[in-house]
Amino acid sequence: MAENCLPEINSRFCYEVRQIDRPQEILFQMFKRFEERAVIITSGQLTGMIITHMAHENGIPFRVCTIDTLRLFPETYTFLEKVEARYGIQIERIKPDLENVDRMVNLHGEFLFFDSKDKQEHCCHTRKVEPLERLLRENIDVWFSGLRRDQSENRRSVPKAQIVERKGRSILKINPLFDWTEKQVRDFIKEHDIPINPLLVSRMNGQFYDSLGCIICTTPMLPGESRRAGRWRWQNVQVEEGNKKECGLHFSI
Ligand code: SF4
């Protein structure tokens, strides 16, 4: 790749992306231009799978990464392998620094996230945010994410494209499905027979998973609960006090 010829990421790229209507075309243009410096980062949830499918359908090489906190559901690990087989790709597992994890566990215990919001954020930073930052810092110019506006109150203003600054570098973050509805997502998945994590389709006495993170911090939801209710459920009492229940992957950088 002609890496040295790539222009520095700036707001002009946001403008260019906003002019393209079809998510497929955005993926095509960006992967063609940036090659391995563009990446889909997904935890294997619905929108991430749609983006991966679209990139595959474009017929040009594309790159997919996932943050493996080492605490994901067994079903998620198995599912990622299934996705790799379906699309003939290798999903890069970005893992936390084990020395950092050991230090955290020795200081605060394995289950520190139950203690306080601060400790939950510390754990999320160690297991999720730091590995993501390492990935972005090393070699990424374009980051595709599956964020959608209808996923939570905190995500209502998610843009189609934005510049995120990291350690003096600018990264173009693109949310190609930013304005899709849940129905659009489900219809597209059905129409194209896109693989879904089995946990996201199972129903247990009316309870279901709407999104998946680490195994202990993600619980199934009851009908009528808000979409982030299953995450860090013990913090639900603090939501009205402004707790946005985010792990920091998308909103700290
Ligand atoms: S979701 Fe829970 S276990 Fe996973 S990184 Fe965050 S606090 Fe830690």
CA of 232 to the centre of ligand 1 (A): 9
* Dihedral pair phi/psi, residue 41, rounded to 5°: -110, 115
pLDDT per position as a tens digit, 133-142? 999 887 799 9
Return d(Cα 234, Cα 216) in angstroms, integer: 11
pLDDT per position as a tens digit, 66-75? 999 999 999 9
Which residue ranges have their beta carbon within 6 Å of ligand 1? 69, 71, 113, 120, 123-124, 127-128, 213-214, 216-217, 247
The reported pTM is 0.89
Question: What local confidence, expressed as pLDDT, does residue 188 receive?
Answer: 97
CA of 148 to the centre of ligand 1 (A): 21
State yes or no: is 14 an active-site residue: no
Residue type, 186: R
Whether the per-residue pLDDT at 96 is higher than 70: the answer is: yes
For atom 4 of ligand 1, the residue with the nearest CA is 214
For atom 3 of ligand 1, the residue with the nearest CA is 214
Contact 188, 194 (CB under 8 A): yes
Q: 115-126 burial, b if ≥16 CB within 10 A, otherwise e? A: eeeebbbbbbbb
pLDDT per position as a tens digit, 146-168? 999 987 777 888 999 999 987 77
pLDDT per position as a tens digit, 199-250? 998 888 888 888 899 999 999 988 888 777 888 888 876 655 555 666 666 6
- Residue matched to tokens 């110019």: 141
Whether the per-residue pLDDT at 4 is higher than 70: the answer is: no
For atom 7 of ligand 1, the residue with the nearest CA is 120
For atom 1 of ligand 1, the residue with the nearest CA is 214
- Select from 3.40.1590.10, 3.90.1170.20, 3.40.50.620, 3.30.70.580 the CATH code of 3-201: 3.40.50.620
User: Could you say which of 14, 123, 124, 247 is catalytic?
Assistant: 247
Domain ranges of the chain: 3-201
Is residue 230 packed enough to be buried (19+ CB in 10 Å), middle (13-18) or exposed (0-12)? buried
> Which of 43, 66, 68, 71 has the most ligand 1 atoms within 8 A of CB, as the residue to mutate?
71
Of residues 5 and 212, the one with the higher pLDDT is 212
Instruction: Looking at mean pLDDT, say which of 7-11, 24-28, 227-231, 232-236 comes out highest.
Output: 24-28
Q: Is 221 helix (H, G, I), strand (E, B) or coil?
A: strand
Contact 17, 161 (CB under 8 A): yes
